[in-house]
Amino acid sequence: MDKKKIVVASGNAHKIKEIAAMLPDYEIVGYKQFADFEIEETGKTFYDNALIKAKSVAERLNLPALADDSGLCVNALNGAPGIYSARYAGDGIDEHNNELLLKNMKGVTDRRAKFVCCMVYYDVNGEILSATGEVKGEILTERQGKNGFGYDPIFYSYELAKPMGKASAEEKNSVSHRHRALTEIIKKIEEYKKK
């Protein structure tokens, strides 16, 4: 029997692979295999942006779609950079984003922060499922470690009791906001498919 298709509303091959590994009963494909269009993220929350992505892909391709949106939220900065995490410093370069965040956090004593990931599944009949994952920690005062990407080198994970930049891929996966949101949404998709 042919596997049911779920389209991932992302152009990131790493994310598509990660999702495929966790959903072996489905055929997981990136949306760019069908049509090469860009999706404008005009939402004000992680949920809004994930919904915009999943809905536009599902409607355009007439197939169920899964999308995520994630970022870093810093308490002392009222949740910034949040949905603007990827382009916080304006040019989309991780190193520049880290530099700006370290500068904005200079002398700030409350350094609590969290990575957040929201996943949305949008079916062609308009059914919406969603899940959020978080990992809590603090913003370091300087870069530590070279592992991971994005803000990992300046984030200290409470659960791992070490800088994310010094965590192995396995360690990061065990606490990752994306992995947590994905585990949760997969449970919801499986329950929904049984109905």
Which are the catalytic amino acids? 69
In this structure, the number of other CB atoms found within 10 A of the CB of residue 127 comes to: 12
Q: Does 148 bind ligand IMP (CB under 6 A)?
A: yes
CA 90-98-93 angle, 5° bins: 45
- If one asks whether residue 149 binds ligand IMP (CB under 6 A), the answer comes out as yes
Note whether 152 binds ligand IMP by CB under 6 A.
Answer: yes
Enter the tokens of residue 9: 């509303």
Taking the complex as a whole, how short is the minimal distance between the CB of residue 151 and ligand IMP, in angstroms? 4
C-alpha distances in angstroms, 60 versus 26, 36, 133?
A: 20, 11, 27
Helix (H, G, I), strand (E, B) or coil at 117: strand
- Least spacing, CB of residue 194 vs ligand IMP, in Å: 29
The Cα 34–Cα 6 span in angstroms is 12
Strand order in the sheet with 155-157: 26-30, 4-8, 65-74, 112-122, 128-139, 155-157, 162-163
Q: Report the residue number, 44 or 195, with the smaller CB distance to ligand IMP.
A: 44
- Looking at residues 161 to 190 of the shown chain, list those that interact with ligand IMP (rule: CB under 6 A): none
Of 27-35, 53-61, 143-151, 180-188, the window that binds ligand IMP (rule: CB under 6 A) is: 143-151
The helix/strand/coil state of 98 is: helix
Residues binding ligand IMP: what is the number (CB under 6 A)? 13
In the block, which residue shows the tokens 């190193």?
95
Q: Tell me the closest approach of the beta carbon of residue 1 to ligand IMP, in angstroms.
A: 33
| 138 forms part of the interface with ligand IMP (CB under 6 A) | no
Min dist CB 7 to ligand IMP, Å, is 17
Taking CB under 6 A as the rule, does residue 132 contact ligand IMP?
no
Kindly identify the residues of this chain, within the stretch 61-100, that bind ligand IMP according to CB under 6 A.
Answer: 69-72, 85-86, 97
Q: Which residue is nearest to ligand IMP (CB)?
A: 150
Shortest distance (Å) from residue 174 CB to ligand IMP: 13
CB atoms closer than 10 angstroms to residue 35: 9
How far apart (Å, rounded) are the C-alpha atoms in residues 163 and 175?
A: 13
Note the residues at the interface with ligand IMP (CB under 6 A): 69-72, 85-86, 97, 115, 148-152
